[in-house]
Structure 1
Amino acid sequence: MEAITGYASYVLPIATALAGVWLLVTVVRYVRADQGTRVSMRQAVRVRWGWVRLARMAGLTVTDKTPSLLAQITAQKDGAVPAPRVLTPKIKVKPDQYGVIVRARTLPQVGLEEYQKSARFLADAWRCTRVSVLPDGPGKVVIRGVRSDPLTTPTTHRPTGLPLTDLTHWELGVDEFAAQVSVSLANVPGVTVAGVPGAGKTSGVNKFVCDFAPSPSVQIATADGKVSRASEGDYADLVKRMFALCGDDLDEANALFKRLVELRKRRSATIRDVLGVKNMWHVGPSPQWPLTVLIIDEAHTFFREYKGSDATAKRLAALTAENARLVEDLVKKGRSVGILVILISQKTTGDAIPTLIRDVCPIGLSFAQKTVEAAVAALGEDIRNWPDASPVALQDPAYVGVAVMAMQGRPGYTRIRTPYVSDTDAARVADATSHLTADPNLCLDALLRSTGRTATPASSLTK
C-alpha cells in the first residue's frame, strides 16, 4: 500500500502533462487547418458530446435487461432488483474539409439498416447537407456527413509528375460524400465519356493523361475530332507525350486506327511466347509492353454515316464504316493485350458511337445532358429509375465537372466531382515526360529482338 501511495503522487502531474500535450496538438492542428476543416473540427466535438442523447432519440440504442456481473453482486448485497441497461453504440469521429466521418459499432437490433433509416435525423442534428451509411466490416458501419456539397465545390488537381505505383486504377475525383472514387482499368477494353459541350469531358481526360504520363509503361495516341491540326485544341499541350495525334481528317484517323489494329494483331500473335501469359493484365504493363491508350474525342466525327450518291459521299461513307470496324476490333479484341480505347462524344447514341462498340465498353461516364434519351444512351436504361442522379439534373453551371457513373458494389449511380487541371500544369507534365514517349510497335520490336524472336510485321499475320 505504501508503494501504491508513493506512485499516486506522480499520477496527477503525468495526467496533467498528457492532457497538456493533447491540448497543444489539438490547437496546432486547428490553427494549421483550412477554414472548412476548422468548422468540421468544431462540428466533430458537437457530434461526440451529443451522441448518447441523439442515439436514444433516433432509436439507435438497445435495452439490455440482463444485469452485469457487478450489478448482480451489488443487487445481492442491497436486495434490490438491478435496473436494465441502455446500451449506446461507441463511435469515433474524424473531421475533414467537407464534414465528419463517424465510425460506429452495431448492436443487437441496431444494425446497418437501422442506421440507414436514421440517416435523415442524423443529417438534421449534425447540420449536414446529406448523410450516408455504409458497412465498414463485421459489426461496424461508417457514417459520412457532409456539411458542404462536394459536387458544387470546384476542385483543382496539380499533377505531381511522379509515376503511379498502380496503373490499374484511374482516380476520377470525389463523390457526393467527398470520398475518393477510382475505377479499375484492368481487363477494361473501353470507356465512354458523354456530356454537352463545356461540361468537363476533356478536362477529366486531361487528368487521366497527366496522371499516367510519368509512367513509361503507358503510351497514348489521340484522334481529336474537334480540330483540324494536332497543334490545335485541348490536347495541344499534351502532344509531346503522345506517340500519335491526328485531327478530324478521316484519312489520318483511319491510318492511325489501322496502325493500332496491326499492333493488336502482333501482340495477340506473340503474347504467349513473350510474356508467358494469355492476358497482359496477369503480369501488368511494362515499358516493353506498355498499356496503349487510344483517345477518340468527338468520336461521332469518325463514325458518322455519310449519305449521297456522289463519289465523295461514297468514299467518306466507306471510310467511316471502316473506322467503325477498326475501332470495334480494338475494343473487342484489345483488352487482353493491353489496349484501352476512351471514346468521348456529346451523346453516345447509336448514331454517334456504333452500339457494337459502345455496348462493349464496361465503363461509362456522363457529364451534363439535356435529354433523358442521351442519359440512357450513356448510362443504360436503369438511369430512368434514379432521377436524382440523372445527368439531366447537372445542367446548372455549378455542376460543370460533375459526372455520373454506375459503380460496382454500389446501388444506383454515383455522382463524381472531377478536378480541373490547368493548361500550364498539363504542358509542364508533357514537357517533363516527353522523353518517355515511344511507339508501342517499336517497343514490341525491341522486346522480340531481346528474346531472340523475329519482329514479324503485322501484315504477314493476316496472310
Structure 2
Amino acid sequence: MTVQEVMGYAPIVVGAGLALITLWAVVWVVRYALADTMTRASIRQAIRVRWTWKRLAPMAGLSVTDKTPPALASLANTDGKPPKPRVLIPALKVTPDRYGVVVRANCLPKVGLEEFQKAAPYLADAWRCTRVSVVQDKPGEVVIRGVRVDPLLTPTAHVPTGEVPEALVRWELGVDEYAQPVAVNLAEVPGVTIAGLPGFGKTSTINRFICDCAPSPAVQIAVADGKVSAAHEGDYADLIGRLFAFVGDDLDDANALFKRLVKLRRDRSSAIKYVLGRKDMWHGGPSSSWPWVVLIIDEAHTYFRDHKGSDKESKRLSALAAENARLVEELVKKGRSVGILVILATQKSTGDAIPTFIRDVCPVGMSFAQKTADAAVAALGDDIREWPDANPTTLQDPAYVGVAVMNSPGKAGFTRLRTPYVKEEDAARIATATAHLTADPAALLAAQLPAGIDLTKDEDPDDDGMPLAA
C-alpha cells in the first residue's frame, strides 16, 4: 500500500475517532443529566480526581522512579547520553456514586497497600472527602473509598420490593461510614441482641427484617412486644397479618408463647432426622414445609425482669419472669439446628434486662445510641472500650437516629452503620400482600408425620437427633 493510499484513509480514521469521542461525551452528558444532585457532585469529583492525579501522586509519596531505561529508549538514544529516569504513577479507575468515589489503583514496587493507607489523609484533603479508606482488593490492586458526605449523617429509606430475597438468611442492615453495604448471615445463628435508647432505630431495623423476609413462605415469625398490650397497638400493628403469633406485655401470654415455641423446638428435635433425613436443618436450608422460625422479643426486659415485693402477685410474676428466661434460654441454646432464631431488643442489654446466660450465647449483637459506657459494654462486649470512636455513647445526637454499632463480620473492631427507615404504609403493604403465606410451624410439622406418630411421647430436650419410632 502506497503512502498516498494510506493518507487517503486518514480522514476516515480521524472521523471515526471523532465520532467515538462524541459518543463518549454524549453518554457522559446524558448520565450527568439523569443523575440526582448528590451523584452529579460525585461525577464532578471523579473528574477532578482523574485530572489532578499525575500531579498529586508524587506529592503524596505514591510514585516511584524507574532508573532502568526501556529497550526502545536505549535504541533511540543517538547522542550517547543515558536516558532520563521515568517517574511511574499508579493507574486509576474512578467510579462515582451518590456518596463519593470508588477508586481502583494498581500497585507499584514500594507503592503498595501500606503506602496508600499512609497517604489516605492527604487524599481526603485533596479530593475534598469526609474520610478515605484503603483496602486490598486483589494482589497488586487496592480500592480507595472516598466519601464526600458522611453516610452516617445522611438519613436513608428502604422500600420493600415484595419479592422473595435471593438469600433469605442474609440480613441487609444498611451502609457503613464509607457507604458500603453491611449485611450479616443469620444461617446457624441462634440469637441476636439489639440494644439502644428509645426512638433511635431498634424497631425500624426489625421491621425491615420482617418486610424483607415476608415474601418467602420459608420463614414464619412470632413477636412478643413488651411496649403494648394489644395487637392493634405499637410498631407491629401493620405487620400482624404476617405473624403466626403475637403477644403484648402480659407475662402470662408471653409465657404461653414461649412454652409453645419450646414445644415446637422439642418436637422438631425429635422429628428432624425422620422428616428431613439430617440432624441440622441448615445443611439443606429452610423450606415452606420446615420454615425458619424467628421469635422477636421487643423490650425484652418486660418479660425477664425480677419483680420485687413480698405480696403474692409479685412473687407469682417473679416466678413467671424466671420461667420465661429459662424457656428463652432453651430456644437460644438448643434451637439453632432445628431452624429457630431469637432476636431480643431492649434499651440496655445489661443482665437485668437480658439474662447473661441468654445474652452471652447470642453471637450477633448491635447497639444504637447508649448513655453509659457500661450499657455499651453490655451490648457489644468489653472490646468496645478499645474502640472509642465506635462507642455507641457517641451516637446520642438526634442526627444519629438510625445509626448503630456492631461487631465487624470477619475482621477486628466494630462497624458503624446507618440503618434505613421503613415507612408504615410500606410495611402494611407487604404484610397484606404476604398474609396468605402465614402458617403455624407446628401444624406444618404435624402434616408431615404419618398417622400413628405422637410427638408428645418422644420429646427430646437433649437433641439426640434419634428418629421417631412409630
TM-score interval, smaller chain: over 0.9
Q: What is aligned with 2:49?
A: 47
Deviation at 1:423, TM superposition (A): 0.7
Deviation at 1:281, TM superposition (A): 1.3
- Does the 8 Å CA contact 1:265/1:458 hold for their aligned counterparts? no
Deviation at 1:267, TM superposition (A): 1.2
User: Once structures 1 and 2 are overlaid, which stretch shifts more, 62-71 or 12-21?
Assistant: 62-71
What secondary structure is seen at the aligned counterpart in 2 of 1:20?
A: helix
Q: What is aligned with 1:67?
A: 69
Per-residue CA distance 1:195-226 (angstroms, 9 max, x = gap): 00111110111010111011111100000000
- Aligned counterpart in structure 1 of residue 11 of structure 2, from 9, 12, 15: 9
Deviation at 1:273, TM superposition (A): 2.4
Per-residue CA distance 1:143-165 (angstroms, 9 max, x = gap): 11111111111111111111111
* Structure 1 segments unaligned to the other structure (5+ residues): none
- Does the 8 Å CA contact 1:405/1:413 hold for their aligned counterparts? yes
- State the Cα RMSD in Å: 1.4
1:461 partnered with 2:459? yes
- Does the 8 Å CA contact 2:269/2:460 hold for their aligned counterparts? no
Q: What is aligned with 2:213?
A: 212
Distance 1:208 1:193 in 2: 13
Q: What is aligned with 2:339?
A: 338
What secondary structure is seen at the aligned counterpart in 2 of 1:11?
A: helix
- Aligned counterpart in structure 1 of residue 20 of structure 2, from 18, 21, 29: 18
Deviation at 1:438, TM superposition (A): 0.3
- Does the 8 Å CA contact 2:65/2:86 hold for their aligned counterparts? yes
Distance 2:97 2:328 in 1: 44
Deviation at 1:309, TM superposition (A): 2.6
Per-residue CA distance 1:384-425 (angstroms, 9 max, x = gap): 111111110101110000000011233311111000001111
1:312 partnered with 2:313? yes
Aligned residue pairs total 459
- Does the 8 Å CA contact 2:290/2:441 hold for their aligned counterparts? yes
Deviation at 1:137, TM superposition (A): 1.2
Deviation at 1:454, TM superposition (A): 5.2
- Does the 8 Å CA contact 2:266/2:459 hold for their aligned counterparts? yes
1:36 partnered with 2:34? no
- Does the 8 Å CA contact 2:270/2:455 hold for their aligned counterparts? no
What secondary structure is seen at the aligned counterpart in 2 of 1:86?
A: strand
* Structure 2 segments unaligned to the other structure (5+ residues): 462-470
Deviation at 1:369, TM superposition (A): 0.4
AA of the residue aligned to 2:254: A
What secondary structure is seen at the aligned counterpart in 2 of 1:316?
A: helix
Q: What is aligned with 1:365?
A: 366
- Does the 8 Å CA contact 2:100/2:148 hold for their aligned counterparts? yes
Q: What is aligned with 2:96?
A: 95
Summarize the Cα distance change of 1:455–1:126 in structure 2 as closer, same or farther, 3 Å threshold.
farther
Equivalent positions of 1:182-221 (< 5 A) are 182-221=183-222
Q: What is aligned with 1:113?
A: 114
- Does the 8 Å CA contact 2:267/2:460 hold for their aligned counterparts? no
Per-residue CA distance 1:283-303 (angstroms, 9 max, x = gap): 111101111000000000101
User: Once structures 1 and 2 are overlaid, which stretch shifts more, 120-129 or 132-141?
Assistant: 132-141
- Does the 8 Å CA contact 2:157/2:421 hold for their aligned counterparts? yes
Summarize the Cα distance change of 1:378–1:439 in structure 2 as closer, same or farther, 3 Å threshold.
same
Deviation at 1:372, TM superposition (A): 0.6
Deviation at 1:268, TM superposition (A): 1.3
Distance 1:446 1:84 in 2: 79
Q: TM-score if structure 1 supplies the norm length?
A: 0.97
Distance 1:50 1:454 in 2: 78
Q: What is aligned with 1:264?
A: 265
1:252 partnered with 2:253? yes
Taking every aligned residue pair, what percent have the same amino acid on both sides? 66
AA of the residue aligned to 1:151: L
- Does the 8 Å CA contact 1:263/1:458 hold for their aligned counterparts? no
Distance 1:145 1:454 in 2: 65
Summarize the Cα distance change of 1:454–1:97 in structure 2 as closer, same or farther, 3 Å threshold.
farther
- Does the 8 Å CA contact 1:445/1:455 hold for their aligned counterparts? no
Summarize the Cα distance change of 1:176–1:5 in structure 2 as closer, same or farther, 3 Å threshold.
same
Q: What is aligned with 2:128?
A: 127
1:225 partnered with 2:226? yes
- Does the 8 Å CA contact 1:241/1:430 hold for their aligned counterparts? yes
Q: What is aligned with 2:467?
A: none
Per-residue CA distance 1:24-73 (angstroms, 9 max, x = gap): 11111000000000010000000001111111000011112222121222
AA of the residue aligned to 2:187: A
Q: What is aligned with 2:422?
A: 421
Distance 2:454 2:193 in 1: 33
Deviation at 1:310, TM superposition (A): 2.2
What secondary structure is seen at the aligned counterpart in 1 of 2:138?
A: coil
Distance 2:345 2:58 in 1: 51
Distance 1:312 1:455 in 2: 40
Summarize the Cα distance change of 1:56–1:163 in structure 2 as closer, same or farther, 3 Å threshold.
same
Deviation at 1:78, TM superposition (A): 3.1
